[in-house]
Amino acid sequence: MLADELLAETLARTPLSPPDRALATELFYGCLRQQLALEYLVHQLVARPPRTVIAQILHLGLYQLLFLDRVPAHAAVHETVELAKRHGSVSETKFVNAILRKTVGATRDQLLKNAEPWVRLSHPLWLWKRWSRRWGVEQTTALCEWNNQSPPVYVRVNTLRTAPRTPLCYPIADPTGLFDSPSWKNGELYVQDPSTLVAVDVLDPQPGESVLDMCAAPGGKTTYIAQKMQNRGRIIAADSSNTRLGLVGENCQRLGVTIVASIPCEGTRLDRCLRGDLFDRVLVDAPCSNTGVMRRRPDLRWRLEEKEITRLAELQTKLLTKAAEFVRPGGVLVYSTCSLEAEENEQVIQHAPAGLTLKTQRQLFPPQDKMDGAFIARFTKK
């Protein structure tokens, strides 16, 4: 189970006030992001490794003391010790209390000053090496620091339900109650990072056109395409997952999108469903390693393996090749990912099939562009 699914399931069966819910979310994701740094701190502070549950309790306490400003030190120590009482022995509880009180007054920089940079920034060594080779230590440090921040919630204004606003996509200062608000229920807003709008802006769909979204779920880009088309024309939304494709339908209904038809089909096999069908514009938002959105997926850095990038690049190349078959002559194809890896981006478009002409390409780098990472390439068909 993914981290966000586990948290959602746990919070659904745990009655908490909005502030406590927000703190629990911050502690959960924060400890995931800082896992390597916290493991290093525990190793430095104790002579003998504690039991796993006690180590995790220490992580919670240390995170509050060293990575959060809003929790008073005495409260962090007290609550963590109370947690240790429920899950450990008397000696383990005294041990947790002693370690935390020893830490009070120290700073994160002081305790991590001798740690290797990837440990201090809590990223896997293989990822640190990969990024450092490409961007250098300074840029890689900036990227890791970006990934360790709690991401803001952005919403896109749905102009099919409400008047246009500037900016079209903006952050919500306090998202508490967003999903119960009239604006949300009326379909005026959709949660979406500004980076995900760029691919659709580059695609530039027009009212009355036909568009194929080859990897559509959960529907953020699909519904934005419909919005730019003023809900006039035809959109085919395909995805390999029936469950996730259901989310496309739900989002279309709430947002007032009526021009989307869904096809449950994996992208490389779409010719079985779309026999001879050609489109004015095709979007391939390909499955990828998601390294550009690591800030939003705190567990990803610990799940992802380097060999997965090679496997995904092979799939992406197949999807791009298949997508070209559905573009009418003179039409537009946009290939995009939320990856930062060259194998999934620049190297994939180098294998674009004959007949496609590369017009533009762009890599969004989070510390520089102040939004999630993404890659976008636009082709036209001869």
What is this structure's pTM? 0.94
Question: Tell me: the pLDDT tens digits for 7-62?
Answer: 999 998 988 888 889 899 999 999 999 999 999 999 999 988 899 999 999 999 99
In the predicted model, what is the mean pLDDT of residues 92-111?
A: 94
How far apart (Å, rounded) are the C-alpha atoms in residues 238 and 270?
8
- Output phi, psi for 23, to 5 deg: -65, -40
Q: Would you call 338 a catalytic residue per the annotation?
A: yes
Among 31, 252, 265, 338, the active-site one is: 338
Residue 47 has what pLDDT?
87
Mean pLDDT of 303-321: 97
Domains along the sequence of the chain with CATH: 3-108+116-121 (1.10.940.10), 153-381 (3.40.50.150)
Question: Quick one: what percent of the chain has pLDDT higher than 70?
Answer: 100
> Is the CB of residue 265 less than 8 Å from the CB of residue 168?
no
CA distance 100 to 104: 6
Supply the mean pLDDT for the chain. 96
**Residue 221 · residue 255 · CB < 8 Å:** no
**Per-residue buried b or exposed e for 355-375, using 16+ beta carbons within 10 Å of the residue's own CB:** ebeeeeeebbbbbeeebbbbb
**pLDDT, tens digit (0-9, with 9 covering 90-100), for 161-188:** 999 999 999 999 889 889 999 999 999 9
Among 330, 345, 341, smallest CA distance to 379 is for 330
How far apart (Å, rounded) are the C-alpha atoms in residues 209 and 283?
Answer: 13
Which H or E run includes 125? helix 125-147
Q: What is the pLDDT of residue 213?
A: 98
